[in-house]
Amino acid sequence: MHYYIRNISHNTDVKPNILFILVDSLRSDGCYGERRTSKTPNFDRLVNNGAFFTTSISPAASTAVSLGSIFTGLFPFKTGMSDTKYQKLDPNVENYISLFEQDGYSTHATQSELTNLFDITSGFKFQVNAKKYDNFLSLFDGLGEKLLDKINSLKSETPWLFYIHLNDLHQPISVPQKFIDSACGSTTYDKMISAIDYWIGKIISLINLDETLVVITSDHGEYVRSIIKNGVDINLESSNLEKFLWNLGNKIPPVFYPPKQKLAKILQTVRMNQRKEKIKKLNLTSNEIRSLVSARTNPGHHMFDDTLVTPLLFCGFGVNKNRIVSQQVRNIDIFPTIAQLCKINDTLISNGKSLVPFINGEIIHEEPAYIESMPATQKNMKIIGVRTSKFKYFREKKDRLNSSLYDLKNDPGEKFNVVKNLPQIAEEMENILQKILEDADDKKTNILKDAERIKIEEELRKLGYI
C-alpha cells in the first residue's frame, strides 16, 4: 500500500488538518517492541516517519475516564469523572475540541452510544453512530468504508479535526477470516492488531501528510490471556463460544437484561474458575497469573502496566522523522502537543505539557503520571496513585496505610509489592501524589440523572462491565 510521506518543511501560515485515531485497548507492546507478533507495516512506516512514544500513561483503565482527561488535558479529579461510580464529563470544564473550533476547525468524530452519553463526543459536529444493540460498529462491518467516504468528503472543508475511535480490539475479539492465520500474530489480540493496521493503511493512503498531523494512541491497555512459559505457549483467550454468546447477548433488548445479567455473571464465574484450574499445577509468577485470568470487566483496581501503558505516535505536519522516545509521558499531554504543533493559542489551563521538545530531540524533565482505579459499579472503594519511570505507588484514597509499591526498573512485571522493603521510596512517592492532589479543587461530580444512569448502565452491560 502506498501513501504520501511528506517533506518536513511546510507553510507555517497554513493550518494542518488533524487525524486523531484512538484504538481502544491497544497496549504499547502490542504494536511495538520485542513482545509483539502482530504485523503492522503501515503503523511501522508512520513510526519511521514520525515521533513515537513507547510509554504513554493513561490515568485509568477506563475509556470514559481516559477520554475525559485526553480531551481536557486534566487529571480525572478535575473533569468531574473521578468517582467510585461512572459520571459525565463536567460541562463547565473547557475542552480542546471547543478550542480548535474557535480557531476555525470543523470537528468530526466516530462515536459509540456510551461516549456520547458521557458527553465526551457530543461536541463534535459530525458523528458516525453505532448500531442499536451493538456496542460499536466494526471496521469490517461497514465503519471502514464510512471512514474512507468521510475523509474524501473533507477535502473541501479544511482545516478539519477528525477523531476516529476504533473498538475492534475490545474484548472479546472476533478476528476477520483474512487475518486468522498465524502469520498475522500468535494471539487473537495480535491478529486483530494486524487487521486494524490494514485499515490504518487504507485511511492514511487518502491523507497528505504534508498537510495533516496524524496522531495514533489508545485509551488504555488490556490483559492478553497468553504467555510463553519455558518455551510453551499458554493461551487462555476467549473461545469462539464465548464470542458467539457475547455477540448474541448484544442483540437482546433492554427488557431482557435482568435475566441476561444473572446468566452472564454465572458464565463469567465459570470461565474464571476454568482458567484458574488450567493453570493450577503450573509454576507461574503472580504477574503471569494476573495476565492469564484477569479482565478489566472483573473486580479490581486494574492499575498495573498491562492496562495503563499505551502507545503514542505523532506523524506528518511539523513532526521530525524517526524519533523514538522511551521516557514516560501521559495522555493528558496529547492535546497540548497537538495545539503547539498546529500553532493554536492554547488558552486552556491544563495539567498536561506539550511534548514538542521531545519531538525536536530535546531532553526534558519527566512528569509523574497520576493514576486511579476504574469507577466501580458495586464496591465504593477508590484507589489512587502515581507512576514514574522507576516506581509505581498506589493506595486506597481513604487509607494511606493500605498501599503498594512496585520497582519498575528491577521488576517490570510488577510481581513484588516492596512497600515494606522501601519505606523511604514509598514516602517520596506519597509526597509526589500529595503534590498532585494539591491541584484538586474537590470538584463536584456531574451527578447523573436516574434516566441517564439507566442508559449508561445499559451500555456498560453490553460491554460486560456490569
What residues does CATH 3.30.1120.10 cover in the chain? 370-448
The dihedrals phi and psi of 175, each to the nearest 5 degrees, come to -80, 130
Query: What b-and-e string marks burial along 431-441, b requiring 16 or more CB atoms within 10 Å of the CB?
Result: ebbeebeeeee
Using an 8 Å Cβ cutoff, are 396 and 381 in contact? yes
Q: Is this prediction's pTM over 0.75?
A: yes
Check residue 247 and give its pLDDT: 59
Residue 436: C-alpha distances to residues 74, 309, 345 (Å): 11, 20, 25
Using an 8 Å Cβ cutoff, are 237 and 186 in contact? no
Q: How far apart are CA 103 and CA 100, in angstroms?
A: 5
Check residue 290 and give its pLDDT: 85
pLDDT, one tens digit per residue, over 227-282 is 777 777 788 776 665 555 555 555 666 655 566 566 666 666 767 677 777 777 78
pLDDT, one tens digit per residue, over 164-182 is 999 999 878 889 999 999 9
Using an 8 Å Cβ cutoff, are 230 and 333 in contact? no
| Strand residue runs (E) in 194-294 | 212-217, 226-229, 232-235
CATH architecture of the domain 17-224+303-366 equals: 3-Layer(aba) Sandwich (3.40)
**Angle of CA points 232, 238, 243, to nearest 5°:** 155
Q: CA end-to-end span of the chain, whole Å?
A: 41
- Record the cell numbers describing residue 18, joined without a space: 488533524
Using an 8 Å Cβ cutoff, are 222 and 171 in contact? yes
Query: Residue 184: how many CA atoms within 13 Å on its side-chain side?
Result: 18
Check residue 279 and give its pLDDT: 79
Q: Count H helices and E strands in the chain, helices first.
A: 14, 15
Identify the three-state secondary structure at position 319: coil
For the chain, the C-alpha Rg in angstroms (whole number) is 21
- Record the cell numbers describing residue 266, joined without a space: 454465572
Angle between helices 188-204 and 41-48 (to 10 degrees): 60
What residues does CATH 3.40.720.10 cover in the chain? 17-224+303-366
The dihedrals phi and psi of 376, each to the nearest 5 degrees, come to -90, 155
Q: What CATH number labels 370-448?
A: 3.30.1120.10
DSSP letter string over 268-318?
HHHHHHHHHHHHTTS---HHHHHHHH--TTSSS---SHHHHEEEEEEEETT
Using an 8 Å Cβ cutoff, are 337 and 355 in contact? yes
- Which residues make beta-bridge pairs with 377? none
pLDDT tens by residue, the chain, 466 residues: 443 333 444 455 689 999 999 999 999 999 999 889 999 999 999 999 999 999 999 999 999 999 999 999 999 999 988 877 788 888 889 999 999 999 999 999 987 767 777 888 766 766 655 443 344 678 998 999 999 999 999 988 889 999 999 999 987 888 999 999 999 999 999 999 999 999 999 999 999 999 999 999 999 999 998 877 777 778 877 666 555 555 555 566 665 556 656 666 666 676 767 777 777 778 888 888 888 878 777 777 899 999 999 999 999 999 988 899 999 999 999 999 999 999 999 999 999 999 999 999 998 899 999 999 988 755 668 999 999 999 999 999 988 989 999 999 999 999 999 999 999 999 999 999 999 999 776 555 666 777 777 777 777 766 666 6
Using an 8 Å Cβ cutoff, are 62 and 374 in contact? yes
Q: How far apart are CA 388 and CA 175, in angstroms?
A: 35
Closest CA to 312 of 5, 3, 66: 66
Check residue 255 and give its pLDDT: 58
Residue 454: C-alpha distances to residues 166, 254, 450, 458, 461 (Å): 25, 10, 6, 6, 10
Check residue 5 and give its pLDDT: 39
Q: Which residues contact 77 (CB under 8 A, 6 or more apart)?
A: 372, 437, 440, 443
Check residue 439 and give its pLDDT: 74
- Which residues make beta-bridge pairs with 405? 393
